[in-house]
A and B are shown apart, each in its own frame.
Chain A
């Protein structure tokens, strides 16, 4: 399954590499961990945090002009859900007609940023344990 988002991905890889510790206090260790992470797998575009595939340049070119890709990587939706966001941006936010690229973009979004089946409330995740004295 594709990563939930780049951040989750980084955390996961961090843990499996055990190269980084649960506390990233210094800037260096953070940057290191990002470096390590990205080279450990090429599937995340370092500049935007988007999943890399053939459609990425088109997605970047059309979807990061106004806002950062973080608005995409935070979100999950079906193809119809992504389509309705695009229509909303076209109707209200000055997004242009995407022409033939619309299908390419929608396929990309629906593939990499699809909703997961989760319950009504998840377990607490990514707990950073620390000693309380």
Chain B
């Protein structure tokens, strides 16, 4: 529904300064900043808006209202495929249509972006450091990027990263936030050092419970003191072999929007645990309590609730492993083909901390299911490729549905699963439309 028009074109090419401002925050260098602040003097802003800005004095300096957020003018994001769909341009939230996720290893330019704030305004990679601290660290330590790379063995794993809110757009009553459809997921090959090697180098006290990350992104209000998002994982997940402090995707530096120069990657868990622009990890002696660990953020009702229920904080539980899910990445939805023609379909399937055991498709709205060929994952926590060849009995409108089953026998539902206040964990089967003519 949102795809085509929010799809992207050439604002960046036309007006890079404007696009820069919107993409990177508005301060790029001293001159443009001055020019900018002059134009955005409050009176002028009010005029441009055709009304007074109420409580303008509460507005943090450097903030501008809307006339500047030309949000229906699309633009390109440097380093990203123009076919990606922008759900929000400030902060940048961008998803990948299913058919662009066809490759087994997701290219960096096709990996979704979920920014909670603005990326760091300036980056000095030579001076970038990672500190380990917290109540449960034995010896707080700080490493430069070069030290991380030289002192620890590096590993490469293909790890599935999916936003906890992927699929949110289908919940009813609607759940607030970016209305992701299916494309806030990808599975590139990540290179970095094992988080556990670094944590153990600093030393983990026996009372350690959780790790919490801190990144250099900037709060949307412009308040430099305000932490945008600081989440994490329990020690058991932190100490897994595949839990990485990563600097590369598919052998190249991380794209800026995906956390350059350093980030965490926890395959199979909500991507919000995989902190970007990483500069500090705290080893905590309790469940980490940074922003977006609490309230409705990345939490779901501990017990299932009726749609629309208000759930008190104490009945909300933190999301850990993501549920089993799959995508049809070929063909693109909307294929028209002649009767009698065979259709090859394919895609990926993944299951949080688990593996996918079975894959099925249906062309009759779930009445009958046929098995697909399913590959083994490249490594633990990587998505798996599946394919099938099918024929259609007669002309008409079909939907191809795909359903994965995890190693514990849990399968994807056909309708949207348990409603929750923020619309997480929708793993309903993916559907594409096919017309046989």
Chain A residues, Cβ within 8 Å of B65: 60-62, 64-65
A77-102 CB mask vs B (1 if < 8 Å, else 0) is 11001000100100011111111110
Find B221's partner among A44, A60, A62, A94 (CB 8 Å cutoff): A94
A132 touching B69 in the complex, CB below 8 Å, given contacts A7-B2, A74-B179, A119-B172: no
- Pair B226/A94 contact, Cβ less than 8 Å: yes
- Pair A67/B9 contact, Cβ less than 8 Å: no
Bound-state CA distance A77–B423 (Å) is 13
A-B CB contact pairs (8 Å), 13 listed: A6-B5, A34-B73, A47-B69, A62-B55, A67-B90, A68-B69, A81-B173, A93-B220, A99-B55, A122-B170, A126-B1, A127-B333, A132-B337
The closest CB in chain A to the CB of B337 belongs to A132
- Pair A124/B333 contact, Cβ less than 8 Å: yes
The closest CB in chain B to the CB of A38 belongs to B72
- Pair B66/A129 contact, Cβ less than 8 Å: no
Find A121's partner among B51, B53, B416 (CB 8 Å cutoff): B416
Q: Does A48 contact B (CB under 8 A)?
A: yes
A8 touching B2 in the complex, CB below 8 Å, given contacts A48-B69, A57-B49, A121-B170: yes
Number of A-B contacts (CB under 8 A): 187
Q: Does A125 contact B (CB under 8 A)?
A: yes
In the complex, chain B residues 326-345 whose Cβ is within 8 Å of any chain A Cβ? 331-337, 343
- Pair B174/A77 contact, Cβ less than 8 Å: yes
Bound-state CA distance A120–B416 (Å) is 6
Minimum Cβ distance to chain A for residue B340 (Å): 13
* A interface size (C-beta, 8 A): 65
Q: Does B306 contact A (CB under 8 A)?
A: no
Bound-state CA distance A80–B5 (Å) is 30
- Pair A130/B332 contact, Cβ less than 8 Å: yes
- Pair B54/A71 contact, Cβ less than 8 Å: no
Bound-state CA distance A69–B73 (Å) is 12
Taking Cβ atoms with an 8 Å cutoff, the residues of B that contact A are 1-6, 9-10, 22, 45-46, 49-55, 58-60, 63-67, 69-74, 86-91, 170, 172-174, 176-179, 219-223, 226, 291, 295, 331-337, 343, 399, 414-416, 428, 431-433, 435
Find A69's partner among B10, B46, B53, B66 (CB 8 Å cutoff): B66
Bound-state CA distance A121–B83 (Å) is 26
The closest CB in chain A to the CB of B219 belongs to A94
Bound-state CA distance A79–B91 (Å) is 24
- Pair B4/A24 contact, Cβ less than 8 Å: yes
Chain B residues, Cβ within 8 Å of A131: 336-337
Minimum Cβ distance to chain A for residue B71 (Å): 4
